[in-house]
Amino acid sequence: MSERWARAALTAYRYAGAAAYPLIGPYVAWRASRGKEDRARRRERYGVAGRPRPEGPVIWIHAASVGETIAVVPLVESILDFGVNVVLTTGTVTSAKVAEERLGSRIIHQYVPLDLKPAVSRFLDHWRPELAIIAESEIWPMTILELGARNVPQVLVNGRLSDRSFMSWKKRSGVAEALFENLAHVIAQSDVDGERFRALGARPVTVSGNLKVDTNPPPVDEWALATLQRQIGDRPTWAAISTHDGEEVVAAEVHASLHKRHHGLLTIIVPRHPDRADALAAQISGMGLAVARRSKGDRISPETDILLGDTIGEMGLYLRLTEIAFVGRSLTSEGGQNPLEPAMLETAVLAGRNVQNFREAYQRLLDSGGAKLVRDRDMLTGAVNFLLTNEVARHEMMAAGAATVDEMRGALARTLKSLEPYIQPLVVKARLKGANGR
C-alpha cells in the first residue's frame, strides 16, 4: 500500500492542478502566505512545534482561514467540553487572531505545516494526533497520505467542492480515488457536495448542512458601535462587504448615482483584503468622494461619502451600521462570500450572480425572499434604491433572511453525531487518563 501512496502523491503533485497543489505547490503556498503569517512563529510552517504536547489524546483540527476558523469554533468547543485536547492549525495571522479571541488558551494553536513530507512528518511526530479533522476543502495530498500511513483517521467536515475543483478532480479520477480513500468519513455541506465527494471515491459520505449557520453572529465592540452610530445619526446607509477587486469602485459608483436621491447617504465599503486600502482610498477619492478610513480612526462627518472598513475582525460592527448589504466576490469575481452573517444579523442581502461557493445558502435565502441577486452595477443601484425607499419591503427581506438562517441550523449536531465513533474512544481514554492521574 505504501507504494501506491507514494505513486498517488507524486501524481497528485504533478497533475492535480488547483484542486490539489502541484509539485511546486508547497513553495507557492509559502510564497502566498508571506505577510500573512507571524514571523516569530515561521518555524511552525516547517513542522517545528511551538509548544509541548499535552498528556492524553490529541485531536488535530485544521481550518485554513478566517471563515473556516469561525465555522469550526462551535465544533472545537464541543470537543473541548468532552475533555479532549485540541491542536488547531490555521494558515494566516488573521485566522490565528480569531482562534485566540474565541478559544483562547483552551486550545493549542499552531500554523499549519507546509505540505512537504519533512514538515508534515515533523509535525505529526511531535503532536501524535489520534484523529485529524479537516474543514471544508483543504485537500493536501502529502498530509493526507502521511496521516494514512500512520493509520490516523481523517474526517473532512463542512466539506465542499467548488465547480472548478470538482471538474479538476474529475479529470484525474484515479488520483482523486487514491487520495480520498484515505478519508475515514466526509461530512459534506450539501447534497451536491456529498454527491461530488462520492463520485470521486470518498466513502462514507454524509450531509450535515453548513456549520457556518450554527455559529454565533459576529461580535462587536459596543463602545465602537455607539461611537459610529452617533457620528452617522439618522443618515441612510448601505454596505458592500467582503468585496474583491472592481467591486469597491462599483459600490462607489452606486453611491454617486444615489446620494442626491437619498440625502446624506453613507456607503460602507469593507474590502475582503484590507491591505488594498491605500490604493482603494486613493481611487475612490479620485472619483470626488470623501472617504473616512476606519483604520485611521477618521471621524464620519456630514460630508463623508464612504466609510472604508479597512480593519480585520470588525464585520459585526459594519453590519450593525446598516440594514442593506451587498456581499462581494460575486459581481466582478467568482465564487461568492458568506451571506449567512449578514442574514443572521437581520440584514437584507444583495449579491452578484457568481455565488457558486455558497450555492445552497443563497438558494435558501432567495427562495424565502431574504436575498436578491443582481446582474450588474445598474441593477445593484436599482436594488439599493428600492430598499432604501421601501421600508416595509426592506424589513420583510431582513426578517426573511434571519428566519431562513434559523431554519438551516442543526449542522453542528449532525456533524457531532457523525464524529461520535471517532471521538468517543478518545473521550473514554481522556477520562481514564484523568482518573489514573489522580
- Active-site residues, by number, are 68
Question: Hey, what's the torsion of the CAs at 289, 293, 298, 302, to 10 degrees?
Answer: 30
Residue 260 backbone dihedrals phi, psi, to 5 degrees: -75, -30
Strands 266-271, 291-293: pairing kind? unpaired
Q: The cell 487514491 sits on which residue? A: 178
Nearest in space to 98 (alpha carbons), one of 132, 129, 135, 126: 135
Alpha-carbon dihedral angle through residues 358, 359, 365, 370, given to the nearest 10 degrees: 70
Nearest-CA neighbor of 91 among 48, 45, 49?
A: 45
Residue 279 has a CB neighbour count (10 Å cut-off) of: 12
Considering only CA atoms, which of 175, 125, 138, 162 is closest in space to residue 13? 175
Whether 241 and 327 have beta carbons less than 8 Å apart is answered as yes
H runs (alpha helix) in 245-328: 247-258, 277-285, 315-319
